[in-house]
Structure formats: structure tokens, C-alpha cells
Amino acid sequence: MKAIGYLTNLPINDAQSLMDIEIDKPSASGRDVLVQVESISVNPVDTKIRANVAPQSGYKVIGWDAVGSVVEVGDASSLFKVGDKVWYAGDLTRSGSNAEFQLVDERIVSHAPNSLSNAEAAALPLTTLTAWEMLFDRLQVSGDKRILIIGAAGGVGSIMVQLAKKLTKLHVIATASRPESVQWLKELGADQVIDHHQSLSEQLGGENCVDYIVSLNNTQQHLAQVYKIIKPQGKFGLIDDPSSFDIMPFKRKSVSVHWEFMYTRSMFETSDMQQQHVILDKVANMIDAGQIKTTLGEHFGTINAQNLKRAHGLLESMQARGKIVLEGF
């Protein structure tokens, strides 16, 4: 089968950073389903793995977000049948979605929304799971409070704004710096949009004014302001990997810190691993009810090495708005 992989960690402008390859088609067993991949999206984690994680043997195939059709089910599978259209965000420890066929544990897969195209749906699984788990599993948001989402115009922020507006009573404050990103967030329902390149406390009118803060990128650059504006007994969440992170200033305010990593459930096969199936199913129903819209930003064409390199390059430039998708082989 066709796939895109690499043999060594290289800058994206290197000819061998991602290559078109042929590998064996896998077969389903146990609780796995074999999915014929029809559309994928590209996430920052793709670029981090490509640049930093070396293959253990042979080519490494990455990619996680995918929409496709079930072509084979394992002998212990009970949630799907051949022909089902599904979507998922995959498992960091297994071969990825940059291939014609992919094995996925059914507990992290759900039926795809009926009202979206494959490309529109592929933009959502990983960011949806990250945003949902951050809001409801990590921060456990509640009440008529204020949440600040730093770096909200990207994939995770775009869906987090929508989930917060549709499923909570939170006053949603988002950050963005470019006019098109500000407009995008307003269209998604943000109550207020401020500039993360300017003083957050000045724009919000002082200190101790936000109950929940989520930082989605460049956390180390924003921590000084976060320390100021978060309320005593507030909750702070992040998803990136700051080069430095001094947690001590949070002590006097009794602030709790929450790191969200969407792959934890599948990586450790936690007892609630199937919750990701449940979350994706709920969001698919919300999409079909017209409550959530796709965060697709750009369609980069066919799934091949050349187009994936373009996608990785744009993500590494930090200029992407919404999600980058590719479709078909």
C-alpha cells in the first residue's frame, strides 16, 4: 500500500524528510479495525514527531487525524462493521494515518458525522479530543465564569471556543494577533478577543480577573501575565512543551495546573480509554445538529510527500489558521 514515511529526523526542506513509500497492508485482529484512509489533517504533533522521534526499524509512518471506511474488523471488535464511515485521532505508539490503510483500536474510533465532507471531518478529531478533555476532564469547568484561551485561532482553540460556548455558561475570551484570526474567532462565538502580543492584564482591566486559563502555544512567553490575571484558586491548563516553566508563583493563589495530552488514554490503555469513542460520537451528533462547524483552514490536495511537506512547513511557520487537510492517494 502507499504511505509517506521517513528514515531519519530531518528539517522539512530536506528531500528525505518525508518520502513516498510502499509498505505491507496490515490485517485486523482483536479490538482493532482496519480503515481505508480517505482524508487526513496535519497537526503540530506531526512536525514534532518527524523532527525528533527516530524510527525503531525501517520507515516511520506518522499522522493521526483521519476519516475513512472500515474494511476489516478484528475478532473481538463489537462497535463497527465493514463499510462504516469513521473518524479518529489515532495512537501515538502505532503506525499513523499517512497511509492508504491503518489499524486503529475501536475504543478510540467513532462514526463520522454525516453532514460533513471527509476533508471537513478530518480537521476535527485530535483537536476536538484535546479541547474536550482539557475543558471537562482536566479543568472540569463549571458555572458562569471567565475562561481565557491563549492562541485560540489554531486547531485546538477553534474547537475549544465552540465547545465552551455550546456546552457551558463560560464567558469566552480568546487571543489572536492578526485581523483575519480575530474575525475567525468572533465567527466561532468568542465573547471577547484580545491580542496576546500586548499586555493581557491591561486589556482585561487588571489582575485576578480570570477563573480558567488555557495556553495552547508559546506558554513560556505568557506565564508572567498568567500569574497576574488568574484568580486565586483558579485553574491553568496547557498543551505545549515550554522550554521553562516555574510553577512556584501559582502557590500563593492555590492555582492548580493541568497538562492535557490527548494520547494518554490510548498510550496507557487506561480503564476509560473508550471515553474517546464517546466524545467523538457526541461531537459528531453536535455537528449533525448544526451546533459545531468544521475548523478546516486549508486543503492541500492529495495525500503525498510533497503536499505533506508543505503542510509541515506551514505549521512550523506558526502562521496556520484552522486545520490543514489532505485527501485521497
- Output the DSSP codes for 218-251: -HHHHHHHHHHHEEEEEEEEE-S--S----GGGG
- What are the angstrom distances between the C-alpha of 197 and each of 150, 175, 176, 227? 11, 9, 8, 16
Range of the domain at 199: 127-259
- When pLDDT is averaged across residues 92-117 and rounded to a whole number, the result is 97
One-letter amino acid at 33 equals V
Q: What is the distance in angstroms between the CA of the first residue and the CA of the last residue of the chain? A: 10
Q: Residue 22 belongs to a domain with what CATH number?
A: 3.90.180.10
- When pLDDT is averaged across residues 90-105 and rounded to a whole number, the result is 97
* pLDDT for position 155: 85
Say how far apart CA 43 and CA 46 lie, in whole Å.
Answer: 5
Say how far apart CA 5 and CA 62 lie, in whole Å.
Answer: 7
Same domain flag for 244 and 282: no
Same domain flag for 299 and 316: yes
pLDDT tens sequence across 188-215: 999 999 999 999 999 999 999 999 999 9
For the chain, what is the domain count? 2
Same domain flag for 131 and 120: no
Same domain flag for 118 and 132: no
Same domain flag for 131 and 255: yes
* pLDDT for position 71: 98
| H helix and E strand count, the chain | 10, 15
Same domain flag for 17 and 99: yes
Same domain flag for 139 and 224: yes
Please spell the DSSP secondary structure of 147-180, one letter per residue. EEEETTTSHHHHHHHHHHHHH---EEEEE--SHH
Among residues of the chain, what percentage have pLDDT more than 90?
Answer: 92
Buried b (16+ CB within 10 A) or exposed e, 20-56: ebebeebebeebbbbbbbbbbbbbbbbbebbeeeeee
Q: Answer with the one of 259, 279, 305 that is the final residue of a domain.
A: 259
The confidence band for 24, taking pLDDT boundaries of 50, 70 and 90, is very high
Reply yes or no on whether the pLDDT at 281 is more than 90: yes
Q: How many residues does the chain have?
A: 329
Q: Answer with the one of 241, 259, 277 that is the final residue of a domain.
A: 259
The confidence band for 297, taking pLDDT boundaries of 50, 70 and 90, is confident
Same domain flag for 135 and 233: yes
Same domain flag for 250 and 281: no
Among residues of the chain, what percentage have pLDDT more than 70?
Answer: 100
Same domain flag for 134 and 114: no
pLDDT tens sequence across 118-165: 999 999 999 999 999 999 999 999 999 999 999 998 889 999 999 999
One-letter amino acid at 192 equals Q
The confidence band for 111, taking pLDDT boundaries of 50, 70 and 90, is very high
pTM > 0.85: yes
Q: Answer with the one of 244, 259, 274 that is the final residue of a domain.
A: 259
- What are the angstrom distances between the C-alpha of 149 and each of 48, 256, 260, 270, 314? 22, 16, 14, 28, 22
The confidence band for 323, taking pLDDT boundaries of 50, 70 and 90, is confident
Bridge partners, residue 305, by sequence: none
Same domain flag for 12 and 82: yes
Cβ of 205: how many Cβ atoms within 10 Å?
8
Q: Residue 252 belongs to a domain with what CATH number?
A: 3.40.50.720
> Mean pLDDT of all residues in the chain?
96
Same domain flag for 219 and 244: yes
- When pLDDT is averaged across residues 300-304 and rounded to a whole number, the result is 97
* pLDDT for position 245: 93
Say how far apart CA 314 and CA 92 lie, in whole Å.
Answer: 22
